[in-house]
Amino acid sequence: AVVSTQSTGHYYITNNLSTMVIFQLCLSLIIVLLKEVSTEYIGLQSGPQKSIPILSKFLSPEDFFKNYVIPGTPVLFKGVAKEFPAYTKWTDDYFKSLPESKDYTVAVEEGKKENRNDPGRDIPFSQFVDIYKDDDIYYVDRVPEFLASDMPLPQPLNCPFVYNNLLADNVMWFSSGGTKSLWHNDGYENLNCLMRGKKWFIMANKNETVRKAHIDVENGSYSTVDVENVDVKKYPGFKDIQFYNATLEAGDCLYIPWLWFHHVNSIGSNLAVNVWWRPYRTPLECEESKPLTFNQVDFRLAEPGFEGGSGTLAEDVVTAIYRHDHMYTATEV
């Protein structure tokens, strides 16, 4: 009877051990398979993300260009936009109180997950303000002319050479939140200032990742990768990218260097304004300039064929050439 009991116990233990070994093997196999078909949100495919420098105040144009623009280093300016009139004035009630809002037509995108094949539609600004909280739409257009005096040209760009030669465009990004951009880069320098809500930026250095970023729509400088479900089997380069992250809160401004890859996710009722300007890789010498607002500068200066401003760009203006072998070069023009 004792032998029988011991044998039964031995069999029971052995059986349990076998089951555990099989379970562990199956679990290991599942983990391996999951890694092979990983579909995570963009930015989670490689090691830990890096943070970027944070400053508590704007820099002078000379220092901004010297320390960040010329070397191509992103930087987050905390709380600086809280001094902008737009930061406090731009409520929905304020927008609708302005008579111009009823007649001023703006471009809106259908759907908050960016789709560059969707032509969008034009509607009156006041109509957008009435419906954006309930409809799946996203305002992506220039700051309306009747609001331009509320938005100052950010101090790091308030240099005569910059606003007389380099300014390219401004864009207002306005939604109820939940917008998701494509993985892309821009042919301009970018300073993005947030008036309300939060934004989450995932970025990658163009110099470190150009062969890995999967920018497969060359004429649009963006990727067809699904930013919410990155298939690393189809897009293996993402496993080797060093990602950088930045979280903007209302009142913050973020500098995104020319050609840096990035994705943007907005959280909560969201309103941001960005300024694009042409790449310029020479230290600035700025004459003293009084504060200016958007209605006092011209954002068409970088458009081909536009004749305006106080001067023309010299040979030290850098432009991007995207080659078919997925390599960027800098060329003087």
What is residue 132's DSSP assignment? T
pLDDT at 302 over 60: no
Average per-residue pLDDT for the chain: 84
pLDDT in the model for residue 118: 83
pLDDT in the model for residue 191: 98
pLDDT in the model for residue 45: 86
* Neighbouring C-beta atoms of residue 73, cutoff 10 Å: 14
Residue with tokens 């101090």: 155
Residue-wise pLDDT for 188-205, tens only, equals 999 999 999 999 999 999
Candidates 279, 39, 270, 287; CA nearest to 132 is 270
Candidates 180, 172, 176; CA nearest to 201 is 180
Q: Which residue has the higher pLDDT, 13 or 267?
A: 267
Q: Are strands 54-55 and 75-77 parallel, antiparallel or unpaired?
A: parallel
277 neighbors 302 (Cβ within 8 angstroms): yes
Report if pTM > 0.85: no
Nearest 5°: phi and psi at 91? -100, 165
In 3-state terms, what secondary structure has residue 267? strand
Residue-wise pLDDT for 29-70, tens only, equals 544 444 444 558 998 888 789 999 999 999 999 999 999 999
